[in-house]
Structure formats: C-alpha cells, structure tokens
Chains A and B, each alone.
Chain A
Amino acid sequence: MSSNKRFRTHVTCTVNGDEVDFLASDETSLLDALRDELGLTGAKEGCGTGDCGACSVLVDGRINCSCLMFAPEAEGRDIVTVEGIASGGQLHPLQQTFLEGAALQCGICTPGFLVSAKALLDENPDPSETEIRYALAGNLCRCTGYDKIVRSVQEAAVQLRGAAR
C-alpha cells in the first residue's frame, strides 16, 4: 500500500465559520483538502507553486497560497475561502463591485482576487491605487489587464468606508 493511504492525520479546523474535520496525508496540500475532502472547489489550482494566487485563502486572517500549505498545518486554525466571504445570503461589497464593474471575464482567478482584496481592505480600508496594485500583485489574471479589478476594489473600499461611518 502507498503511504498516503495508510498514514493520515486527523485535522480539525474552522472553515468559513464551521468547525470541520478531515483526514489528510502529510503531503496533501490545504488546497487539495479543501477541494477534495471538503468539496469547496472555489479555490483553484493555477500553478501549484504559489505563483498565481488562484488558491488564495485567509488563514487566521492572513492571506495564504493554500497550494503551498500542508493540510495538517491547518489544525486549529481559522480558514476563510471565497465561499465564506458572503454572509447571510448577502454578497460582500467586493463581490458586488466585481460583478457591477465587470472585474471578471473567465472567472478562474476571481476567487483568489476576492480573498486577497478582502485581506487588503480588512487591513487597510483606504488603500491608494498603488497599494491595491501591490497587494494584488500575487494574483495573476490573464483576461482583464487588471484595470477593472483595481477599480472594483477601489469602489468596494468606498462603500465599506461609507458603511463603517
């Protein structure tokens, strides 16, 4: 028998507010665990080497490439994926501005961009265009040329600041 079937770790963590558990071998990435064990296929594998950001998730509030993190490392941590950004059937302002601003074409990179942009706005509610561009520089998009993504993040920031007032 191959080792990945025989030796698996029982991992317990929080994903999108729910306490979950799953079994993972030592070489399983968090991305594969999310997609294959938990059925959360929102995070995508574009490269598997941490270069494209399509697999971005929040781990204890910090942005992470889930393809570079081993699943057992998620033990006890709080994970947020694109499926956890909307709340109570209400889209997050970023999701709404991405839709209205045509910030997605094919949509494969969109989950990663939304998670990265949320991490930015959670940290910095009033980023400059340059700060947005650098915060999103770890996420590759081949369709849009980034223009409408950056504008949609700017618009969401305005809305979130308005709501916070």
Chain B
Amino acid sequence: MTVTEDRPKYKWVGTRPIRPDGYDKVVGKARFAADLNLPGQLHAAILRSPHGHARILSIDTAAAEAMPGVQAVVTGADFPDLDATNSERDVAENLMARDVVLYVGHALAAVAASTRAEAAAAVATIEVEYELLPVVLTLDESMAEGAPLVNENNVTMFVESDGPSNLATVNALERGDVDAAFEAADLVVEREFETSWVHQGYIEPHACVVDVGADGRADIWVSSQGHFRVRSQTAAVLGWETARVKVTPAEIGGGFGGKTTIYLEPVAARLSEKSGRPVKIVMSREEVLRATGPAPASKSRVRIAATNDGELTAIEGWLGYAVGCTNDMAGFIGAMSVASYRFPNLKLEAVASLTNTPKTAAYRAPSAPQAAFAIESVIDEVAQRLELDPIEVRLKNAVVEGDPTAMGMPHPRIGFVECLEAIRDSDHYRSPVPEGAARGVGSGFWFNIGEQSSATVNLNEDGTATVITGSPDIGGSRASMALMAAEELGIDVQRITPVVADTESVGFTDVTEGSRATFATGMAVVNACRELIDELKSRAATILGVEKDAVDWVDGAAVADGKDPLSLAAITAKAKSTGGPLTVTASLNAGGAGPSFAVHCCDLAVDEETGQVTILRYTAAQDAGTAIHPSYVEGQMQGGTVQGIGWALNEEYVYDDDGSMLNASFLDYRIPVASDLPMIDTIVVEVPNPAHPYGVRGVGETGIVPPMATIANAICSATSVRMTSLPMSPPSILAALGDR
C-alpha cells in the first residue's frame, strides 16, 4: 500500500521491473568476494588474540615459516606505525595489533600458504608471549573512577582533554528551561534502559583477493559498501599513494553498515608483496562475530515531562554507548538521532566510552535504535498513564518542517505526521486487538546523508545506454539508477545497463551508507542524463538543420516544429558525424538529504509460562520521499524491521569475564528465521524530498529504529511489565514477570 502526496506522473519511476543483477543471482553466477580465484593464489589465515587485553612481549613466527606450503608471514612490524594525526590509525591498529591486543579476536599475525589447511596449521604454531592487562567490558566499568585504560592512544573528543582516557566523546545539548518545565509538569515519567551489542549479521563473511604486481601496485577484489574507501584505507595503512591501489567491487552479500571499513585488505597486500603471489583471505563466521564491528551496547536514562492533555513539555536524557576498543562517533550520532518531537525544553548528554571488545561499526541508522528504544518507551508510558491514544500523543508533539532537532537544526519538509496518520488510519490499527494478543506502536527517525558521488552515462550506437556508478549495490540501487535514467532519457528501462565500476573506471564515490546511494548517486545519474539530453538536442539541431533552441526533448525524442521527431537511437546512430561519442560524467557533493520517519504497529502474544514472544501481525509505515522501485523500498522497510525484531527479542553478545564471546556462531547468536515471523505489511508514505529531482529520501536506515520500543510497548500492554533491557528474550521476560 502506498500513500502519496501530489507529484508529477512518471513513466518509469515507481514501476517494478526485474532488477538487472537479479538473473545472475538466481542461477548462482553472481560473483561475491569469496567466489573469485586467481592462478597461483595463496590462502591466508590470521592469528587472533585469545586475551581481552594484553601487551605483546614477543611473537615468534620461525616455526610457522618452516611449515609446509607457507610462503609468507606478517605481523604488526610489517606495517608502518601511523602517527596519532593519521585518520586511519585506528583502522590500522584494529587490523593488525602492534604492541597491545585490545580484545579477544584482535589480529596479530597472518600466514599465507598454498592451502587454507596449511595456512591454518602454520598460524597455530606461532608463539606469542603476552603480559595480561586489565579487561574493561562494560560502559559502567569503562566510565568508573580510576578505571584501567582500554586503549592508551585514545583521547576524548569535543571536550578539553588532559591525556589518554576511556571516554571517546561527550556531547551536551540544551534548550529552553528544563528545570522549570519539570516543575510545572502534570506528569513526569523517568526510566533507565540497557541494550546489548548486536551484530549486523550479513550472511557473507568478509573476504578479499589481493594481487600485488612486480610494479608494486595492488589489485584488490573485495565486497564492500565502498571500494573507494577500501582504496584509501588500504593505501593509508600501507603508507602508499592511493594510485598504487585499484579496487574492483565484487557483489556484496549484505553489509548494513558493517562493510564500511576494512579488516583484511592491507594484510593480504603485504602477504602478496612478500610472496609475489595473489592472496585470498576469507573470514570464518566465528571471526566475523569476534573481530568485526558490532553496534555499540548502550545504557540510557530518559525523563519526560507532560501536561494532562499529552503535550510533551521537556526531555532530560543521558545516552551512553560502549563503542569497543577505539574512538567512535556513536554518542554524537546518538544525540543527532533525537529529533522526532518538539520538546520545547531539552537537556541531553550523549557519551561514548571504550571497552576491550571489537571496534564497533555502523549498523543501519547507527545509534538511533538505542535512543529510540528509550524515548519511545517513555512516551508510550506517558500516553498509558494519561489514558491517551499513543498515536494521538505522538501526533500532538510530532515535528514538522521548521521544528528543530536536538542539535537545533530546523527540519526540512518531512513526513512524520503523514506516517503517524498512515498507521492511525491503517486496517491494522483500526482492527480490534485479537483475543490473547496485545498491541504496541513506536516510531523512528534517521537523518540520512548526501556526500560525494559520480556517474558516467554512455549512449551506445543503437540508442541503448550504460549507466556507470561507484556505489556498490547493496539492495537494488542498480535498478533504481536504471529507472531514473530511463525517466530522464525517455527510453525503456530494459535498454539501460547499470554498472558498478572499479576505482579506475568511474569518478570518486563515497561509501554506500546512510541511505545515500539512490539519493546522491541517483542525483549524479540524473545530472549526467540532463547534460546528455542537452547535447542530444544540439546533435538533433545539426541533423534537422534547425537552431538548438527550437529543439525540445519529449519522450525520448528530439522534437522541433515542422519536423518528424528524432528518436534517441536515430541521434546516437549519427554520433560520429555530429561530434563524436555521446558520454557525460557528472560528479557532486549532494546536499539536501531528506530525513526519513517510520511508524510501526505490532500485535504480539506473550507466553507467560515460557517468556516466549510471538509476533502475530506487523505493519511498518515509512516516508520514502518517492519510491523509485517500490518493491525494493518495501524490502528495505521489511529487512530493517526484522533486524529490529531480532535486536528486540533474540540478539546479544554474551561475554565471559575475560571478554571472550561465548556465542560466536549463528547457532548461538540467533538472528530471526522465517518461522519466527509473520508477513511484514508495509505502507510506503511518499512526501517528496524537495532537494532531489525525484523526491528521494533514502529508505535503508529508518526501518530498524522503531521495532524495539514498538515490541516493548506491546509487551507492556500484554503483561503490564515495562521491559527496559534488550534483548527481551524468554529468560529476561520470565524474570520480569516474576518481579511483577
């Protein structure tokens, strides 16, 4: 179902063609990173720390070097020691420890051998002497007075720093008079919340193949969310010029933020350089869980003041994120994510602090789910205690264009109210709650980002087109690029071939993250097409013998008074005689990213004997701006929702006292499966983003934000117990019911 504001009628935008990369994916031909093999290729294995925090006193690789099949061994000493001002220093430190290991799973040596088995056998013979250091595993431990240092290189950002600290960032925001507002309030609700680390859980483990040639240049094949970042990070970690590295994007088997940084490529490059052979590294699932970025664990405290008629007059909050072993912006971004309600009086502090756990990474709308779990739960309690409808309370306080975010920036045109109304008016919300079930609602926000993109559009001799971009296609972006190009050029979408090109075949493009690909790279495609149409008009004028000003572009053809329309194919056929190849490259740093809001509604049942929660019905409404390919917009909403359901109900990292993850497998780190779920109904709300030629907002992020509070609110409605800790797994629900 779609709720659409008035907008132009499009021919291609908003249709649902089969995605061009789909055919290879359903027959098993699509090449993901681990599917590539090169002649003479070696396989590498990585030695990882068994300790949560330790000084490396010595590493002896002599036995490994003598093992069968071994061609090269590297340790931290094989990489340049980047100075503190280098922005990739944390990345370098994370992918190969130098003096200190900071978490269980931290890489500290690697071996390349003829087979995987030989590499693994050789790695096992490396002898390391450690001096154990204190392990800091929780936010409380990290922020305690006199806490041991997690990482001696860390200094706190945004505040006056007096040397190394566990604190990563501190951000304080304030507006209005919070104390007076709480004094005057009819109702004050305050709660504390806690969430665990969760992993992005992409099904494809990290993998790469790297071949360093005799000229010292590296060819890298890798699945990532941004091969230009792989290039720059790899070059920085190796101390190379960027031009020595070429990165070819493989198909990417899921990322969700987790493939926006590197873990393997410089290691493979150094091994390749030493051995003179291509080197392939494929992580195991255990390595993915122990050594790649989970989302931060969090603690928060939220206090909200309200009037009896449901006006939210003030919020006071503290948001804390445990960000793993290196500095991270999770706290700052968490503060940015507080933006859904007007709150005339606001006082927020967001902090991030280090722990001896894996360096965290972005995960879909990073930092927002933790904050929204807290705020949306407290708002629900306000509505409950005032006996008001939870959607009406949100509608009464929802931000509209011009209202400020917590950071103070005014919102552009947004569709939060429209999403709330879409749920309020939905069949789901209007239907009575089924016998034995309970209902909850919640909302979410993400600001989305623009950043840099490039696109080249080539018109071929027969009037077909190739659209070349540098945005890895993580969820259907090639299809959306083709649709926007078809709309612009006025040709059938089937005549357009969208391509994701390597770092030497297309202009610089930032990472596919923050829901920016269809928005920003789409803008680059549109700009290139518009420039091409201008050129096509010139060519048509030459062919028709008229002034260029007399030529219009209508439905894929040049039109001039008194002349037969000249199709795009008729013009490309004469490219050679009218000025040469028809190709345009457009690049931009896109501004005007459109924030996307979502509102969810969930019916569920709680088995009070087992603590098991069963989701019975789920509806997600989200403002897409304009859905370029509605199926993949729905897919983003459904996928994000189910990741949120996993975060709410099942997923957590379980550490022992030494910081070793006890559930580092898909058996024990349990993501939702098909039998856990009902259909996820979607309502695509379309309030076009005025800053994009087709109104795109970007839809990847926001879907993961509302589910935790939506489900907690429904559980509260079912059991009268307010769950404040994630995951709401059977044992924690049973414990909470026992305390009732």
Contact = CB atoms under 8 A, between A and B. Distances in A.
B68 interface: yes
A137 B675 contact: yes
Contact of B204 (A95, A108, A136, A145): A108
Contacts of B253: 44, 46, 106-109
Given A2-B118, A105-B475, A108-B203, A146 B285 contact: no
B677 interface: yes
Contacts of A48: 284-285
A106 B674 contact: no
Contacts of A114: 26
Interface string B670-691: 0111110101100000000000
Contact of A99 (B22, B35, B251): B22
A143 B27 contact: no
A147 B675 contact: no
Interface in A29-74: 35-36, 40-49, 51-52, 54
Contact of A141 (B27, B203, B640, B680): B203
Contacts of B474: 105-106
A142 B673 CA distance: 9
Nearest to A54: B203
Interface in A113-154: 114, 129-130, 132-134, 136-151
Contacts of A5: 115
Interface string B181-209: 00000000000000000001111110000
B618 to A, nearest CB: 9
Given A41-B28, A102-B635, A134 B251 contact: no
Given A44-B253, A133-B674, A147-B680, A102 B27 contact: no
Contacts of B653: none
Contacts of A107: 21-22, 25-26, 30, 251, 253
A11 B69 CA distance: 25
B680 A145 contact: yes
Contacts of A47: 285, 665-666
B647 interface: no
Interface residues of A, number: 62
Nearest to A131: B675
A99 B675 contact: no
B16 A133 contact: no
B446 to A, nearest CB: 18
Contacts of B679: 129, 147, 150-151
A4 B69 CA distance: 12
User: By DSSP majority rule, is chain A's interface helix, strand, loop, or mixed?
Assistant: loop
A104 B205 contact: no
Contact of A143 (B121, B284, B635, B665): B635
B638 interface: yes
B631 interface: yes
A20 interface: no
A81 B27 CA distance: 9
B46 to A, nearest CB: 16
Contacts, number: 191
A100 B18 contact: yes
Contacts of B30: 107
Contacts of B475: 105-106, 143
A145 B121 contact: no
Interface string B657-672: 0000000011100011
Nearest to B288: A47
Given A133-B674, A144-B638, A105 B666 contact: no
Contact of A140 (B118, B251, B673): B673
A146 B643 CA distance: 11
Interface string B116-148: 011001000000000000000000000000000
A34 to B, nearest CB: 10
B19 to A, nearest CB: 7
A133 B252 CA distance: 25
Contacts of A137: 673-675
Interface in A84-108: 85-86, 91, 95, 98-102, 104-108
A159 to B, nearest CB: 15
B255 to A, nearest CB: 8
A70 to B, nearest CB: 14
B478 to A, nearest CB: 12
A130 B679 CA distance: 11
Contacts of B21: 107
A133 B679 CA distance: 10
Contact of B666 (A49, A95, A130, A132): A49
Interface in B627-669: 631-632, 634-636, 638-643, 665-667
A111 B30 CA distance: 10
Q: Tell which of B21, B282, B679 has the most Cβ of chain A within 10 Å.
A: B679
Interface string A1-15: 110110000000000
Interface in B36-84: 37, 68-69
A142 B201 CA distance: 7
A105 B674 contact: no
Contacts of A75: none
A86 B27 contact: yes
A52 B670 CA distance: 10
B203 A144 contact: no
Given A2-B117, A108-B251, A142-B203, 9 more contacts: A2-B68, A47-B285, A51-B667, A52-B203, A102-B631, A105-B475, A106-B475, A140-B203, A150-B679
Interface of B: 16, 18-19, 21-23, 25-32, 34-35, 37, 68-69, 115, 117-118, 121, 200-205, 251-256, 282, 284-285, 474-476, 631-632, 634-636, 638-643, 665-667, 671-675, 677, 679-680
8 contacts: A44-B204, A47-B285, A47-B665, A49-B666, A102-B19, A105-B474, A106-B474, A129-B679
Interface of A: 1-2, 4-5, 27, 35-36, 40-49, 51-52, 54, 81-83, 85-86, 91, 95, 98-102, 104-111, 114, 129-130, 132-134, 136-151
By Cβ-Cβ distance, the 9 closest A-B pairs, closest first, are A42-B28, A108-B253, A107-B25, A145-B642, A102-B631, A145-B638, A51-B666, A82-B28, A41-B35
